Amino acid sequence: TQLLEQSPQFLSIQEGENLTVYCNSSSVFSSLQWYRQEPGEGPVLLVTVVTGGEVKKLKRLTFQFGDARKDSSLHITAAQPGDTGLYLCAGSSRSGAGSYQLTFGKGTKLSVIP
Amino acid sequence: NAGVMQNPRHLVRRRGQEARLRCSPMKGHSHVYWYRQLPEEGLKFMVYLQKENIIDESGMPKERFSAEFPKEGPSILRIQQVVRGDSAAYFCASSLGQDSSYNEQFFGPGTRLTVL
């Protein structure tokens, strides 16, 4: 069974601070996706990383895929209250049945205090 | 809005009743996935379907749960004889394909099932 460990589980910071969230696994993934989920809503896709070592930027968010495609990080610069939410990473890999499945981490609950 | 649609958003059932959850994928998507999210747990894969076919049901409980994606109409996740442990948020996602590198899945808003 593949596992994705996210850390930290909870993070509370002041507006304007920087933060990094980590997603680690002992398994290799063909791609990795980051989602943000608000209470009572479904996950919203932020980015997909595919190539080992890949870095993608989305405004103040920087996503990195590890060289071995086993881990990833999300860095937020100058956090704002609107960044508050649950951040989920999900790795894509082929299942025993032959289809590509997503394995989710439990998420990092971020709270940005004004 | 051509996003993934799910209904109902909230569903309350008594133990022993049946629950039917519906999902319409994004326009142009023919691959549908169902996930369950228990309180304080991550999303867990249940089943992957294409039109009229169940491709992978390795995450689906063997009893009481079934899924379909007919030629016409939405995908249905059916839970028979619900028990309190079935209370969870059920999410549907859809994708354009199953490319070996990309498996971008877009999620609906979920159905929150409460079993009394």
Q: What is the DSSP code string of chain B?
A: --S-EEE-SEEEE-TT--EEEEEEPPTT--EEEEEEE-TTS-EEEEEEEETTEEEE-TTS-SSSEEEE--SSS-EEEEE-S--GGG-EEEEEEEES---SS----EE---EEEEE-
C-beta atoms of A30 and B101 within 8 A: yes
* Confidence band for B28, pLDDT divided at 50, 70 and 90: confident
C-beta atoms of B104 and A104 within 8 A: no
Mean pLDDT throughout B80-88? 96
Contacts of B39 in chain A (CB under 8 A): none
Mean pLDDT throughout B76-101? 90
Kindly report whether the peptide bond that precedes residue B8 is cis, defined as omega within 30 degrees of 0: yes
Per the model's pLDDT, the better-predicted residue between B1 and A81 turns out to be A81
Residues 6+ apart with CB under 8 A from B88: B36, B37, B38, B39, B112, B113
* Confidence band for B101, pLDDT divided at 50, 70 and 90: low
CA neighbor of B13 nearest in space, from B65, B72, B87: B87
Residue A41 pLDDT > 60: yes
Rounded distance between C-alpha atoms, residue A112 and residue A77, angstroms: 12
Contacts of A101 in chain B (CB under 8 A): 45, 48, 56, 59, 103
Residue A103 pLDDT > 60: yes
- A33, A99, A106: residue with CB nearest B41: A106
Residue A97 pLDDT > 80: no
pLDDT of residue A2: 65
Residue B97 pLDDT > 90: no
Residue A34 pLDDT > 90: yes
Contacts of A48 in chain B (CB under 8 A): 102, 104
pLDDT of residue A62: 97
pLDDT of residue B11: 98
Structure tokens at B109: 């808003």
- Name the average pLDDT for chain B: 92
| Nearest CA-CA distance, residue B102 and chain A, Å | 6
Rounded distance between C-alpha atoms, residue B96 and residue B76, angstroms: 19
The percent of residues above 90 in pLDDT, for chain A, comes to 83
The percent of residues above 70 in pLDDT, for chain B, comes to 96
Contacts of A50 in chain B (CB under 8 A): 101-102
CA neighbor of B38 nearest in space, from B111, B92, B89: B89
pLDDT of residue A77: 97
Residue A15 pLDDT > 70: yes
pLDDT of residue A75: 97
Residues 6+ apart with CB under 8 A from A97: B55, B56, B57, B58
Residues 6+ apart with CB under 8 A from A68: A28, A52
A91 and B CB contact within 8 Å: no
Helix/strand/coil for A83 = helix
